[in-house]
C-alpha cells in the first residue's frame, strides 16, 4: 500500500471511530427489545457486494465493511442497532407499538367472532326447540279442538237416553214425541246461541247459488220462476260463512204445451160432473 492509500485509510478510520462514539451514546435505546431480535437468531452479518475478478476495492469501503461485520460475542440486534441512528430506532419502536396494537385489535375481533358464533349456535338450538314445541302444541290443539262441542252433544244425547228409557217403561209414545221435540229445540238453541250456527230457510225463497244447490227443477204454476219449492236437505250457515248449502228443487216457467194440456185437463174435469 502506498503512502496516499494509507493516508486515506487512516482518515476513514478516524471518521468511523467518531461515528461509533456517537452510536454508543444511545445505549438505553439500543438495549430495548426489537422485532429484529428474531432475525436468523442474530447469527447473520451484512452481506457484502461481490467482488468482480480483477476489480480493486476502495480502502474506505473495505474499512467501513469491517465495521459492519458482526463482531464476536455480539448479537445481530446490537450490530443492527449500531448501524441505526436515533430517528430510525424511534421509527422501529413506533412500528412495533402499532403492530402490537393492531394484533390486539385482531385478537379482540377474533374473540368477538367466537362469541357471536356461540350465540348463533345457542339461538339456533333455541329456535329448533321452539319449532318442535309449536308443532306439538298445534297437534294437541287439533286433537282436542272439538272437545267443547262434543261435550255439549253428549249432554243432549243424555236427554235422548232418558227419553228412550222413559218410553220403554211407560210405552207413552206421545210423550216420547214431545220429548224429542224438546230435545231438538235444545239442540238448535245450543248451536245458534253458542256456536252461531243457523238453518238456511229455502222454501219460498228466490234461488241463490251461493246458499242453494239445485238438484231438480219442476214446472210450477204455484211458484214463480227460480223460486225454491222444496228443501231436500237443510243447509246451515255459521256466523257469516255457509258451511253446507241446501239441496233444493227449483220452479221453472210452465211451457205452452204443458199449459194447453193443463187447460184441457181442467175442462174435462169440469165437464165430467155434468155428464154424470
One pLDDT digit (tens) per residue for the chain, 276 residues = 445 445 444 555 555 555 565 555 545 444 444 444 444 444 444 444 445 555 555 555 455 455 445 455 457 767 776 777 788 878 888 888 999 999 999 999 999 999 999 999 999 999 999 999 999 999 988 888 888 888 888 988 898 888 888 888 788 888 888 888 888 899 889 888 988 999 998 898 899 989 999 998 888 878 888 899 999 999 999 998 999 999 999 998 777 666 656 555 555 565 555 554
Which cell numbers hold the place of 200? 238456511
Which cell numbers hold the place of 270? 169440469
Which cell numbers hold the place of 254? 210452465
Task: Say what the pLDDT of residue 89 is.
Answer: 79
Q: Which H or E element spans position 229?
A: strand 228-233
- As a three-state string, the secondary structure of 118-182 is HHHHHHHHHHHHHHHHHHHHHHHHHHCCCHHHHHHHHHHHHHHHHHHHHHHHHCCHHHHHHHHHH
Distance separating alpha carbons of residues 26 and 84, to the nearest angstrom? 10
- Of 62, 84, 106, the position where a domain reaches its end is 84
Q: Is the dihedral of CA 48, 53, 57, 62 positive or negative?
A: positive
Residues 42, 90 contacting (CB under 8 angstroms): no
Rg of the chain on CA atoms, in Å: 57
Site of grid cell 247459488: 209
Residue 97 lies in a domain: no
Task: Say what the pLDDT of residue 242 is.
Answer: 92
Residue 111 lies in a domain: no
Task: Say what the pLDDT of residue 213 is.
Answer: 92
Q: What is the pTM of this model?
A: 0.46
Residue 24 lies in a domain: yes
CATH classification at residue 218: 2.30.22.10
How many independent structural domains does the chain possess? 2
- Of 21, 52, 84, the position where a domain reaches its end is 84
- Of 27, 52, 84, the position where a domain reaches its end is 84
Residue 8 lies in a domain: yes
Domain that holds residue 64: 3-84
Which cell numbers hold the place of 186? 235444545
Of the candidates 132, 129, 109, 133, the residue with the CA atom closest to the CA atom of residue 121:
129
Residue 152 lies in a domain: no
Task: Tell me whether residue 248 is exposed, middle or buried, using C-beta atoms within 10 angstroms of its C-beta: 0 to 12, 13 to 18, 19 or more.
Answer: buried
Residue 178 lies in a domain: no
Residue 99 lies in a domain: no
Task: Say what the pLDDT of residue 262 is.
Answer: 59
Residue 155 lies in a domain: no
Amino acid at each position: 500500500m502506498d503512502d496516499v492509500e494509507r493516508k486515506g485509510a487512516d482518515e476513514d478510520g478516524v471518521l468511523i471511530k467518531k461515528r461509533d462514539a456517537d452510536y454508543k451514546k444511545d445505549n438505553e435505546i439500543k438495549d430495548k427489545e426489537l422485532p429484529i431480535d428474531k432475525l436468523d437468531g442474530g447469527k447473520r452479518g451484512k452481506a457484502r457486494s461481490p467482488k468482480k475478478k480483477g476489480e480493486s476495492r476502495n480502502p474506505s469501503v473495505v474499512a467501513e465493511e469491517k465495521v459492519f461485520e458482526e463482531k464476536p460475542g455480539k448479537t445481530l440486534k446490537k450490530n443492527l442497532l449500531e448501524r441505526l441512528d436515533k430517528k430510525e430506532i424511534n421509527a422501529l419502536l413506533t412500528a412495533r407499538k402499532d403492530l402490537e396494537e393492531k394484533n390486539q385489535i385482531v385478537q379482540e375481533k377474533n374473540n368477538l367472532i367466537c362469541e357471536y358464533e356461540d350465540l348463533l349456535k345457542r339461538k339456533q338450538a333455541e329456535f329448533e326447540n321452539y319449532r318442535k314445541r309449536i308443532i306439538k302444541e298445534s297437534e294437541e290443539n287439533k286433537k282436542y279442538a272439538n272437545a267443547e262441542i262434543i261435550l255439549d252433544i253428549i249432554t243432549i244425547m243424555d236427554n235422548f237416553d232418558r227419553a228412550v228409557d222413559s218410553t220403554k217403561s211407560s210405552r207413552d209414545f206421545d210423550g216420547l214425541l214431545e220429548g224429542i221435540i224438546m230435545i231438538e229445540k235444545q239442540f238448535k238453541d245450543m248451536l245458534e246461541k253458542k256456536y252461531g250456527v243457523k238453518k238456511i230457510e229455502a222454501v219460498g225463497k228466490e234461488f241463490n247459488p251461493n246458499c242453494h244447490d239445485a238438484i231438480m227443477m219442476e214446472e210450477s204454476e204455484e211458484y214463480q220462476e227460480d223460486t225454491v219449492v222444496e228443501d231436500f236437505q237443510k243447509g246451515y250457515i255459521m256466523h257469516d260463512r255457509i258451511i253446507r248449502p241446501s239441496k233444493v228443487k227449483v220452479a221453472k216457467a210452465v211451457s205452452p204445451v204443458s199449459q194447453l194440456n193443463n187447460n184441457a185437463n181442467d175442462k174435462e174435469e169440469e165437464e165430467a160432473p155434468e155428464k154424470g
